[in-house]
Chain A
């Protein structure tokens, strides 16, 4: 007991958000909840009157929901993947990001596939995908991989929290109803530690191929279709890279916000962000490389249908969006990440990248629909209020989930920080 008290005192700042709830919390949570509830109403409206309440039509039969789907699934890659890779490689600087990253994964994975539910003509029959599974459909692969990833990342987040929940159980008698069952009787015995170590080792290895598979099959929802500029062999790695790219940006954004709001400057140091910034830089370059390779190939050797889409992006109807994307995903973040990996620099870069990657998904999906292969069906697309409501509702729900999470669980892994510190000390001796 004294041990837990000493640790709780030492990590007072990490635990503080769970003990105090001020006006700032309500001022954040209530508007977020209101936006979220509004989107529930919007969904009800769409459910009642049909998908015609969106801006979709013929030939743009998939639109904003699919953009959000790919975007959120992309964000989810941050988490589990990055924290698992950093753990396996024993990169100690990843420790303070771990918990936030894993939580981002879980919440983004809850938000992403929800879009498919919105997108269905008969949302109440979504489970038919499992019931009447048709194995040749990339959507079924999606369903399988995403469900697996979701399950594994929930377990991943949870298992890594067990020792901390054990601590919370002892510290918060009032919330015992929650922490006691979740702590699984954790007392920190030798046997429990060794079981935990094994479980984490296994999960770290398991989560990497699963995460890669998820965005691979998400890319195949497009890449295996006949639409011009979708049908591309590099779509799978391109999407995976883009996903990790936006995911890292999301981790940086989330942790900077947490650091500021909960005063975690002692744990999240500029040194950590410098390293994270370097990782982000690698993915900036990878993304730019893939984008260049993809567009050059289409421009140089593509057919008539592909060129129609390509030019609509480069100089046509989607030129503005396309070049904004290039600016936000590369031109702005690249010099920042090379020269200024400071906190404000990283904040600007991450916000740019997150918005830029959303636009990237938009410019991948919509223009191909506008210019289908046969040059007679032409249409336009403008999202309706229902689609915008759902987009902002999901973003609000995602943020709200994170805010609530930070009120119930420590956003920085206490036991891992402690362990790292002990390891450092023993090395120093």
Chain B
């Protein structure tokens, strides 16, 4: 059984936000538009936070790409009254779009605030529409959506591996954010495989997870800045 996880090396992150764009493209994340974004309705399955510390000339900038943490103890799944979200056997916190009735309790109980709601019917600019990904489930207004580690890619990779009667190799399947990251800051793979890159990095001295004290046990690890050697 796979147990998908992600490691984001904050030292390598240059803040280019390519991951945000790639995620939007891969998962058909709708455009909220300027007006809606002011109301906080922008959807960022891969969210990106930057922080400026200090003032000129002593300025330090920090970047934080924030996808869904894919918790091992997700607070969001247990509060859903219709079981529209659940942790699948491979550890991905999945959203069942046709089942969701838009209660939004999962959104309010997510301490990382990485679940997004379709306040209006999803919309895209016209010339963008042709480029939408056909492999992704269509969402309607009034339901919740979230990052799922590009589950469609994992599914395809699993089919292929099954046909060839083998396990998925490390690095064979990666989500759009990891694929596009120019500095290779995002790694993705099977945490159950002790030889995989992610499981090695997740045991690094630099590794930490967000809000660990809540006991949610995220499967997205960060490597803190400042020490350049791997692991």
Q: Which residue numbers of A lie inside 8 Å of B, CB to CB? A: 49-52, 55-62, 119-122, 125-126, 128-129, 131-134, 136-140, 143, 221, 224-227, 369, 372-374, 376-377, 379-380
Which residue on chain A has the smallest CB distance to residue B96?
Answer: A132
Once the chains bind, are B119 and A52 in contact (CB under 8 Å)? yes
Q: Contact check, A128 vs B82: say whether CB atoms are below 8 A apart.
A: yes
Known: A58-B113, A372-B111, A376-B49. A52 touches B103 (CB 8 A): no
- From 100 to 118 in chain B, residues with beta carbon under 8 angstroms from any chain A beta carbon are 100-105, 107-109, 111-113, 116-118
Give the distance to chain A from B63, nearest Cβ to Cβ, in Å. Answer: 11
- Give the residues in chain B near A143, CB-CB below 8 Å: 81
User: Can you list 17 A-B contacts with CB-CB less than 8 angstroms, sorted by A residue number?
Assistant: A50-B142, A52-B119, A55-B39, A57-B39, A119-B103, A121-B143, A121-B144, A122-B100, A126-B101, A132-B99, A137-B81, A139-B105, A221-B105, A225-B105, A374-B111, A379-B39, A379-B40
Q: Which of B12-20, B72-80, B187-195, B219-227 contacts A (4 or more CB under 8 A)?
A: B72-80
- Closest chain-A Cβ to B57's Cβ sits at a distance in Å of 25
Residues of B within 8 A of A55 (CB): 39
Contact B79 A137 (CB under 8 A): yes
B136 at the interface (CB under 8 A from A): no
Report yes or no: B117 in contact with A121, Cβ–Cβ below 8 A: yes
Set B39, B102, B103, B112: member contacting A139, Cβ < 8 A: B103
Min Cβ gap B15→A in Å is 14
Contacts of B117 in A (CB 8 A): 51, 58, 61, 121
Tell me how far the C-beta of A277 lies from the nearest C-beta in chain B, rounded to whole angstroms: 38
* CB of B178 to closest CB in A, whole Å: 22
What are the residues of chain B within 8 A of A369 when measuring CB–CB?
108
Interface, chain B (partner A; CB < 8 A): 36, 39-42, 49, 51, 64, 66, 75, 78-83, 99-105, 107-109, 111-113, 116-121, 141-144, 210-211, 214
- Can you name 8 extra interface pairs (CB under 8 A) apart from A120-B142, A133-B81, A372-B111? A50-B120, A51-B141, A57-B36, A57-B39, A58-B40, A61-B107, A121-B142, A129-B101
Nearest to A142 among chain B residues (CB) is B81
Who on chain A is nearest to B51 by CB? Answer: A376
- CB < 8 Å: which of B40, B78, B141 contacts A50? B141
Task: Compute how far the CA of A133 lies from the CA of B79 in the bound complex, rounded to whole angstroms.
Answer: 11
* Complex Cα gap A138–B75 (Å): 12
Nearest A-chain residue to B78, judged by Cβ? A136
